[in-house]
Structure formats: structure tokens, C-alpha cells
């Protein structure tokens, strides 16, 4: 997900729900129902949104936002990402094995022997676990599971994410393989955080 240096993505709005302005949204908080607990949310252009209510449904939450009262208004927000300033979350509550998802973007991807596979460009979750998208050395993209087996080490100081090529489905640095089956369970104690308790 695209992200600025000082904004953390809290939610991404999907399709409208009903005719009264409710929205389906994917929440990036440990508790999806806590999406409104972090104060006002903003989009990339600085528009402010206040969460009036949130309720669960299958795989997503249903939001009511202040000022969004019709299906047409909700439709206009489809695909919008809602953020809060990063400073609201950097309060010392991150555990040693936790980090913001955005911090993974830009890390070099290498194996234990130093072979360069590319760069992390995004993290996705299509419902079966977190997946890293890597831009390979020749420009193609590859998806790998964000699991302890596939990603045994992350060093933010050196900017390197270490992969096990076999577990990650990367048999060759120039080949694009699909994600494997073993996945790391995200801790996600707060919005935009992932990683955590290694299995």
C-alpha cells in the first residue's frame, strides 16, 4: 500500500453497504472494531473523516462516516485509504517483534548468502494471511508468504529482509513464483502493525 512517511493507513474503503451511506471497509487495526478509537481519520489530501459507528461483517467492517449519508456519497469514496499521523501510534507500545507494515516497503530482499532478490514494494492480505510483494531484480513482481519459514529475519538497521528461497517460492532471483502455504500470523496490536509472535 502506498503510504507517506508520516501517515499510517488505518482502513481502506470498499463498496457501499445499503442506501444510507454505510461503507464496507478493510480495517488495519488489531481489533477491526477499534477503527474509530484513534480519532479523526484523514485521506491523502487532508480531508477529515469522523467514524460515527462501526460493526462487524464477514471479512470487513461496516462504517458510518460523518457527512456520508447516501449510497452515492459512499460510492464516491470507494478505494479511499484513511490514515492517522504516525506520531499517534509511536508511543513505545511496539513489542520487539512488531513493526508498522509500511516499514517493510523498500527493504532489500536477500537470502542468507547475500543473493539479492529485489525489493519489498507492498504487503497484501487477501484473507488467508499476509503476503509480501517483491519487485524482482529484472523488474517483475513476485508474491511470497510473510511467514517465519519464508522470512526468517528482518533487519531494519541495515534495511534487509532475509528470505529462505525454498520456503518463499523463490528458487531463482530472476524467477517469479507464487506464495507458499506456510504463513506468519500477524500480531497487529494496533493499526498498521504486523509481524510479531514468531511461530
Residue 185 and residue 119 share a domain:
yes
pLDDT band at 79 (very low <50, low <70, confident <90, very high): very high
Question: Do β-strands 141-145 and 130-136 pair in parallel, antiparallel, or remain unpaired?
Answer: antiparallel
Residue 96 confidence (pLDDT)? 57
* Number of domains comprising the chain: 2
User: Is the residue at 179 inside a domain?
Assistant: yes
Range of the domain at 162: 98-195
CA distance 118 to 111: 11
The sign of the torsion formed by the CA atoms of 137, 4, 125, 88 equals positive
Which of 87-91, 131-135, 151-155, 178-182 is predicted with the least confidence, judged by mean pLDDT?
178-182
Residue 110 and residue 81 share a domain:
no
Q: Which helix (H) or strand (E) holds 133?
A: strand 130-136
Residue 103 and residue 62 share a domain:
no
pTM (predicted TM-score): 0.57
Residue 183 and residue 112 share a domain:
yes
* CATH value at residue 135: 2.30.30.240
Question: Is pLDDT above 80 for 158?
Answer: yes
2-26: per-residue pLDDT in tens? 344 578 888 899 999 999 999 999 8
Question: Is pLDDT above 50 for 128?
Answer: yes
Residue 190 confidence (pLDDT)? 40
Residue 141 and residue 63 share a domain:
no
Question: Is pLDDT above 60 for 187?
Answer: no
C-beta of residue 56 within 8 angstroms of C-beta of residue 50: no
Nearest to 13 by CA among 4, 23, 21: 23
Question: Is pLDDT above 70 for 196?
Answer: no
Percent of the chain with pLDDT over 90: 46
User: Is the residue at 1 inside a domain?
Assistant: no
Amino acid at each position: 500500500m502506498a503510504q507517506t512517511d508520516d501517515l499510517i493507513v488505518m482502513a481502506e474503503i470498499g463498496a457501499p453497504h445499503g442506501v444510507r451511506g454505510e461503507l464496507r471497509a478493510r480495517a488495519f487495526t488489531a481489533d477491526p472494531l477499534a477503527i474509530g478509537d484513534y480519532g479523526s481519520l484523514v485521506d491523502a489530501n487532508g480531508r477529515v473523516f469522523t467514524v460515527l459507528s462501526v460493526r462487524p461483517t464477514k471479512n470487513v467492517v461496516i462504517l458510518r462516516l460523518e457527512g456520508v449519508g447516501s449510497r452515492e456519497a459512499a460510492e464516491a469514496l470507494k478505494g479511499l485509504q484513511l490514515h492517522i499521523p504516525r506520531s499517534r501510534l509511536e508511543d513505545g507500545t511496539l513489542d520487539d517483534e512488531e513493526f508498522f507494515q509500511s516499514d517493510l516497503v523498500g527493504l532489500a530482499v536477500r537470502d542468507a548468502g547475500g543473493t539479492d532478490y529485489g525489493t519489498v514494494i507492498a504487503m497484501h492480505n487477501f484473507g488467508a494471511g499476509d503476503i509480501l510483494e517483491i519487485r524482482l531484480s529484472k523488474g517483475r513482481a513476485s508474491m511470497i508468504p510473510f511467514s517465519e519459514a519464508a522470512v526468517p529475519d528482518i533487519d531494519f538497521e541495515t534495511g534487509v529482509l532475509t528470505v529462505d528461497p525454498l520456503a518463499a517460492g523463490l528458487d531463482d532471483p530472476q524467477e517469479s513464483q507464487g506464495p507458499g502455504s506456510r504463513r506468519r500470523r500477524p500480531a497487529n496490536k494496533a493499526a498498521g502493525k504486523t509481524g510479531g509472535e514468531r511461530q
